[in-house]
Amino acid sequence: MLRRLGDTVFELSLRVLWPGPAWPQRYALAIVLTIAVGALKLAVPPFGERGPDLFLTIPVAVSAVVAGFGPALLAVLGATAVAAYFTPPAFELRLISRLDALDLFAFFVEGLVIAVLGAGLRGALLRALSSLRRQQELERERTALFATVQHELRNPLAALSGQLELASRYAARDEPRERVSDALASARVQVSRLLRLTEDLLLIATTPDTSFRIDAERVDLRAAVEAAAQRARVAAATHALRCVLPDDAIEVAADPARLDQILDNLIRNAMRFSPAGTTVEITTARSQMRPVGVARVRDEGPGVQPGERDRIFERFVRGAASHGVSGSGIGLYVSRELATRMGGRLVLEDTSTIGTVFALELPLAAADERNRHEATVVA
């Protein structure tokens, strides 16, 4: 609670001191403060004493610290004018004596000194607050990096563990050598994926560039979905997985490892946010409207609230349905970023209280698009 209170005070300090407001607002602050102090001096007898006093330096000091030297100089002029008005008896017109003029000049110089010191204090506070803000940003970046490492490495590690366990079972039961070889081949794929992810995450940790490298090639979307479903079945048996796939291949231009990341994230999210024993359905198709291949993942969860449909793709944002469900809130963010960098998109296509559908669209590979166009012409 104390840390939260400290963060609140820090943010309020930044909002007050940060040179964000336009100059009219900053100068208006000096004018309002000077008028308020003058009115108080006029209305309250103890403050209406003759000549300049320390009370009149309040708008100067506040303007210097909050708004800067320019508004503070305006407050100095205003405060000196107020002091000049109160030097004679109130409402009595006469020339100010030489002694009074010297007092006013000394007050003006004193105000200038306060303005300079206040502006210097403001600059020091801004530098200190900027340093603190940068430290907070670095801490958030460090936390984000750890969360990304945890999230992105979890899926291939789970799949690798599952494939090795399958290979172990096949070998123990004297299964045909082909089944053991297939399991070990899948494990090798996951090892390669882990190495790729580790390279990316180390790049994020050591450079400002947080983008993932994309090596696009022709990939069969249908085969990628089948492989992702198999990995999910091996890693967790709490849900039924149903794949509705076309007979022919759907070749898209994508990075195979990145495509695996997206599919694993979508399937894992569908299993995480829907009750155990329900069915997660995965379908693939060619879009009839645009030259893209589409993979859809449908769950039977509680759905996404209307106000959260776009926000769930932001980093560290989790929907209301995530209460009590483990996760870091970056899976959909990373998946959308990867889909965009591969020339596609990831969208929340449909959601209700009986389930949610996420659609991944990727551009068709050149040969597949040409075949699609020829088939359309023939039809």
Q: Which residue did the predictor score with more confidence, 49 or 268?
A: 268
Q: Reduce the DSSP state of residue 282 to 3 states and report it.
A: strand
> Residue 272 is part of which domain span?
217-378
Would 49 be classed as within a structural domain?
yes
Q: Are residues 350 and 229 in the same domain?
A: yes
Would 221 be classed as within a structural domain?
yes
Question: Taking the CB of residue 47, how many other CB atoms lie within 10 A of it?
Answer: 16
Q: Give the distance from CA 1 to its chain's centroid.
A: 23
Number of domains comprising the chain: 3
Would 211 be classed as within a structural domain?
no
Looking at residue 268, its pLDDT comes to 87
Looking at residue 298, its pLDDT comes to 95
Looking at residue 147, its pLDDT comes to 62
Residue at which a domain ends, from 123, 138, 153: 138
In one-letter notation, the amino acid at residue 357 is V
Average pLDDT over residues 327-338: 75
Would 314 be classed as within a structural domain?
yes
187-196, 219-228, 271-280: range with lowest mean pLDDT: 187-196
92-96, 145-149, 306-310, 360-364: range with highest mean pLDDT:
360-364
CB 122 within 8 A of CB 26: no
Place of tokens 């490892």: 257
Please say if the pLDDT value at position 6 is more than 60.
no
Q: Are residues 221 and 258 in the same domain?
A: yes
CB 356 within 8 A of CB 303: yes
Q: Which residue did the predictor score with more confidence, 132 or 16?
A: 132
Question: Taking the CB of residue 336, how many other CB atoms lie within 10 A of it?
Answer: 21
Q: Are residues 190 and 157 in the same domain?
A: yes
CB 376 within 8 A of CB 356: no
Average pLDDT over residues 121-138: 77
Strands (E), the chain: 217-220, 240-244, 251-254, 279-286, 292-298, 345-352, 355-363
Per-residue b/e over 289-315, b at no fewer than 16 CB within 10 Å? eebbbbbbbbbbbbbbeeebeeebbee
Please say if the pLDDT value at position 271 is more than 70.
yes
Would 312 be classed as within a structural domain?
yes
What CATH number does the domain containing 177 carry?
1.10.287
Average pLDDT over residues 120-141: 76
Q: Give the distance from CA 186 to its chain's centroid.
A: 34
Q: Are residues 132 and 150 in the same domain?
A: no
Average pLDDT of the residues of the chain: 76
Confidence of residue 93 (pLDDT cuts 50, 70, 90): very low
Q: Which residue did the predictor score with more confidence, 63 or 339?
A: 339
Q: Are residues 374 and 318 in the same domain?
A: yes
Would 228 be classed as within a structural domain?
yes
- In Å, what is the CA distance from 160 to each residue of 183, 232, 234, 264, 346? 9, 11, 9, 13, 26
127-141, 178-192, 296-310: range with lowest mean pLDDT: 178-192
| Residue 215 per-residue DSSP state | -
Please say if the pLDDT value at position 379 is more than 50.
no
Please say if the pLDDT value at position 342 is more than 90.
yes
Average pLDDT over residues 138-147: 66
230-239, 270-279, 328-337: range with highest mean pLDDT:
270-279
Average pLDDT over residues 122-135: 78
Q: Which residues contact 344 (CB under 8 A, 6 or more apart)?
A: 252, 254, 292, 360, 361, 362, 363
Looking at residue 128, its pLDDT comes to 79
Read off the tokens for 347.
Answer: 């969208």
Please say if the pLDDT value at position 14 is more than 60.
no
What CATH number does the domain containing 289 carry?
3.30.565.10
Would 212 be classed as within a structural domain?
no
Read off the tokens for 247.
Answer: 């007979």
Please say if the pLDDT value at position 301 is more than 70.
yes
Please say if the pLDDT value at position 151 is more than 70.
no
Please say if the pLDDT value at position 51 is more than 90.
no
Q: What are phi and psi of 276, to 5 degrees?
A: -60, 140
CB 316 within 8 A of CB 288: no
